[in-house]
Amino acid sequence: MKIPRMLIAWLLASGVVASASAQVQVQVQEEPYKKGPDSTRKADVPQGTVTKAKWTESKVFPGTVRDYWIYVPKQYDGSQPAALFVAQDGGGFVTEDGAFNAPAVFDNLIHEGAMPVTIGLFLNPGNIPPVEETSKPRSNRSFEYDSLGDLYAKFLIEEVLPEIGKSYKITSDPRQRVICGNSSGGICAFTVAWERPDSFGNVISHIGSFTNIRGGHVYPALIRKAEKKPIRVFLQDGSNDLDNLHGNWPLANQQMAAALKFAGYDYQFVYGEGKHSGRHGGAIFPDTMRWIFRDWKEAK
Amino acid sequence: MRKHLIFSLIGAAGILSAQDMPLAQVLIEGEQWQLLAEGYGFTDACAADTEGNFYFTDVKNGNGIFKLTPEGQVSVWRDGLPGISGLQFGPDRKLYACQGKRERLIRIVPGTGDVEELVTGVRPNDLVVTALGAVYFTETKTQQVHYVSASGEHRVVHQGDIVRPNGISLSPDQGTLIVSDHGGKHVWTFRVESDGSLAFAQPYMTVVTPYGTDESKGDGSTTDAYGRYYVTSEMGLQMFDPTGRLCGVISTPAPKAVSVEFAGPGLAWIYLAADGKIFRRKSASAGVLFQNPPVPALMFGANPR
């Protein structure tokens, strides 16, 4: 079937494809958020490289395969350990005309000094390929992203990062390591830092699914009673986000923000009027990165 | 139209964006469970045929296999085979049965009622027969899943992980096999390999359990045409979407629901064996018969085949 170009452009722009959202949205409706100059290529800014690869072995998630992309800034020369940024549903973050265009944002902010030289790891969720070519792969995304516990953290920290570390010098300082995602990828990012604050000290969650897909609605309660963990958290959601069988996204994110505030976390909550898309999170993404790395020079 | 475009695009992009599948897509407002048969000791072994009939057994007191027509008439389909806990028709139109009481897996030839022994010395609990005529069955006590090829080769294809393997089903494309855990809180998935072996065991679905226990009493399992999985349990009939997310718990009309199957006209009725009775309830979905060729799961909005 032929797909109109306009529709593809809209899908990418709105982040429906990029974020592989919990619900396919069928209404074409404008959200009042647009990417700014920091999300666009500038002629005088050194451009990093983005390389696509396939991850095909996992003991934690046996049988899964997934695409991933590595972003390496022009300024990286291997002499110093680089900061680390990891995104779930990574494919949507590296797309040049997607909601985030993370490579361009990183190029601009690194050049400006607003963030350190950072290696980007953009991981897609796993699929179990079918035996019969005529069948579809089975998505492992919900199992990997929505489950609480340390499985995904194990996969990332014990399987993937050591391998990436063979090619790139990456800092072990959690304050210089960021984990990010949208929707289920957002709760996944939080879960990794919650389980392993010694590895990731920064979380960025857009339209995070802190709802009962697989029990993630309990986080606000856990945050309030657990001893504060050394995690900096950025949350974004919109008043028109999902309300479905798993929960109410705007309420869940407000609960998260209230719990982080109560427990004294270094957090920021941006609450707009967006829907379940990457539009708003993408539009403010450069400022989010500025906020996360606001003290990176002091921390060094 | 736009919906179709988006679905194809997402498929093309290789990103499986699961749809949300609430109970409202399956349950019909005003439709309740109907009691079809009662007075049995322990009803079990739900199965469907292509003519809308439903089959079951009484594992405790019964002596054979009962047939229930869409109109609600019960008759004895085959007598003299006590203790059957799992049933399904194969592509050869024979009725495959787990006869744990006689420690064997058998198939019954319609018309003559002849019994063919496939495996002996086992205690099969529940089974699924594929379109190729292969059988997978659970053996709860030994924590095993067994495989019997269409040519009769028998081997154990999974052992351990699952505390009490019980219900067993397939995805509509028959590429994924699921097993419920009576003694645990998960439903496990496996990839079905071309030689019949099972690969990549994962606790893919998490079942709601009673407060204070991880024992789900997960039992009889089935699949609908959209790829949802249904599992009877202590807490009710639990429904999962194809990506393993719990999407609803259907109240059962009696305690101890142990077996579930789509049957009746259009396979649109959910049949349930519970507490020595048989119930059914009309649904907005439809089942899948694994003796038929594999089919891709339907997208929501598509009419059941």
The 3-state secondary structure of A114-144 reads: CCCCEEEEEECCCEECCCCCCCCCEECHHHH
Q: How far apart are CA A247 and CA A276, in angstroms?
A: 13
Say if B275 falls within a structural domain: yes
Has residue A45 got a pLDDT over 60? yes
According to DSSP, the residues that pair with A84 across neighbouring strands are: A119, A177
The interface predicted TM-score of the complex, written ipTM, equals 0.91
CB A44 within 8 A of CB B34: no
The reply to whether residue B244 touches residue A142, judged by beta carbons under 8 angstroms, is: yes
The β-bridge relationship of strands A202-206 and A177-182 is parallel
Q: How far apart are CA B101 and CA B79, in angstroms?
A: 15
The reply to whether residue A137 touches residue B173, judged by beta carbons under 8 angstroms, is: no
Q: Closest to A130 (Cβ–Cβ): which among B7, B175, B245?
A: B175
Q: How far apart are CA B213 and CA A142, in angstroms?
A: 24
CB A99 within 8 A of CB A15: yes
CB A180 within 8 A of CB A192: no
Tell how far CA A186 is from the center of its chain: 6
Amino acid at A77: D
Say if B291 falls within a structural domain: no
Has residue B15 got a pLDDT over 70? no
Say if B9 falls within a structural domain: no
Residue the block writes with tokens 């997208």: B299
Has residue B146 got a pLDDT over 50? yes
CB B29 within 8 A of CB B50: no
> What pLDDT is stored for residue A176 in this prediction?
98
Has residue A28 got a pLDDT over 60? no
Query: Which of the four pLDDT bands, split at 50, 70 and 90, describes residue A59?
Result: very high
If one counts every other C-beta atom within 10 angstroms of the C-beta of residue B244, the result is 27
Share of chain A above pLDDT 70, in %: 90
**Angle (deg, nearest 10), helices A102-112 and A285-292:** 50
Q: Quick one: which of A148, A155, A194, A145 has its CA closest to A174?
A: A194
pTM for this one?
A: 0.91
Say if B298 falls within a structural domain: no
On whether any CB of chain A is under 8 Å from the CB of B11, the answer is yes
Neighbouring residues of A36: CB distance < 8 A, sequence distance ≥ 6: A283, A286
Tell how far CA B224 is from the center of its chain: 10
- Average pLDDT, stretch A273-291? 97
CB B250 within 8 A of CB B239: yes
As given in the structure block, the two tokens for residue B36 are: 């079809």
On whether any CB of chain B is under 8 Å from the CB of A221, the answer is no
DSSP string spanning B198-224? EEEEEEEEE----TT--------EEEB
- Average pLDDT, stretch A272-300? 95
State pLDDT tens for residues A176-219.
Answer: 999 999 999 999 999 999 999 999 999 999 999 999 999 999 99
CB A202 within 8 A of CB A292: yes
Cα-based angle A65, A69, A75 (whole degrees, multiple of 5): 155
CB A84 within 8 A of CB A176: yes
Q: Closest to A17 (Cβ–Cβ): which among B15, B202, B242?
A: B15
Q: Which CATH class is domain A5-299?
A: alpha beta
Which residues of chain A have a CB within 8 Å of the CB of B17? 16-17, 20-21, 24
- Average pLDDT, stretch B186-206? 98
CB B256 within 8 A of CB B133: no
As given in the structure block, the two tokens for residue B162 are: 């699952």
Q: Closest to A213 (Cβ–Cβ): which among B199, B202, B245?
A: B245
Has residue A65 got a pLDDT over 70? yes
As for how many domains chain B has, the answer is 1
- Average pLDDT, stretch B214-221? 97
- Average pLDDT, stretch A247-267? 98
Q: How far apart are CA A20 and CA A277, in angstroms?
A: 9
CB A103 within 8 A of CB A50: yes
Residue B118: CATH number of its domain: 2.120.10.30
Q: For residue A217, give the DSSP letter.
A: G
- The stretches of chain B forming alpha helices (DSSP H) are 2-13
Burial of A8 (0-12, 13-18, 19+ CB in 10 A): middle
Tell how far CA A294 is from the center of its chain: 19
Has residue B9 got a pLDDT over 60? no
> What pLDDT is stored for residue B247 in this prediction?
96
- Average pLDDT, stretch B171-195? 98
Query: Which of the four pLDDT bands, split at 50, 70 and 90, describes residue A173?
Result: very high
Say if B305 falls within a structural domain: no
- Average pLDDT, stretch A154-172? 98
Q: How many Cα atoms within 13 Å fall on the side-chain side of residue B87?
A: 32
On whether any CB of chain B is under 8 Å from the CB of A137, the answer is yes
Cα-based angle B302, B304, B305 (whole degrees, multiple of 5): 115
Neighbouring residues of A77: CB distance < 8 A, sequence distance ≥ 6: none
CB A60 within 8 A of CB B46: no
Query: Which of the four pLDDT bands, split at 50, 70 and 90, describes residue B16?
Result: very low
Q: What is the torsional sign of CA B160, B162, B164, B170?
A: negative
Q: Closest to B17 (Cβ–Cβ): which among A21, A136, A147?
A: A21
Q: Which residue of A has its CA nearest to B206?
A: A214
CB B161 within 8 A of CB A123: no
- Average pLDDT, stretch B150-167? 98
On whether any CB of chain A is under 8 Å from the CB of B191, the answer is yes
Say if B14 falls within a structural domain: no
Query: Which of the four pLDDT bands, split at 50, 70 and 90, describes residue A3?
Result: very low
- The stretches of chain A forming alpha helices (DSSP H) are 5-14, 91-94, 102-112, 141-146, 151-154, 161-167, 184-195, 219-225, 249-262, 279-283, 285-292, 296-299
As given in the structure block, the two tokens for residue B293 are: 């060729």
As given in the structure block, the two tokens for residue A111 are: 């050049």
Q: How far apart are CA A90 and CA A19, in angstroms?
A: 9
Q: For residue B31, give the DSSP letter.
A: -
Q: How far apart are CA B213 and CA B209, in angstroms?
A: 6
* Three-state SS at A175: helix
On whether any CB of chain A is under 8 Å from the CB of B201, the answer is yes
The reply to whether residue A124 touches residue B248, judged by beta carbons under 8 angstroms, is: no
Share of chain B above pLDDT 90, in %: 90
The residue range of the domain holding B84 is 21-282
CB B274 within 8 A of CB B43: yes
* Three-state SS at B58: strand
Say if B5 falls within a structural domain: no
Say if B16 falls within a structural domain: no
Q: How far apart are CA A168 and CA B50, in angstroms?
A: 60
Cα-based angle B110, B154, B59 (whole degrees, multiple of 5): 50
- Average pLDDT, stretch A24-39? 75
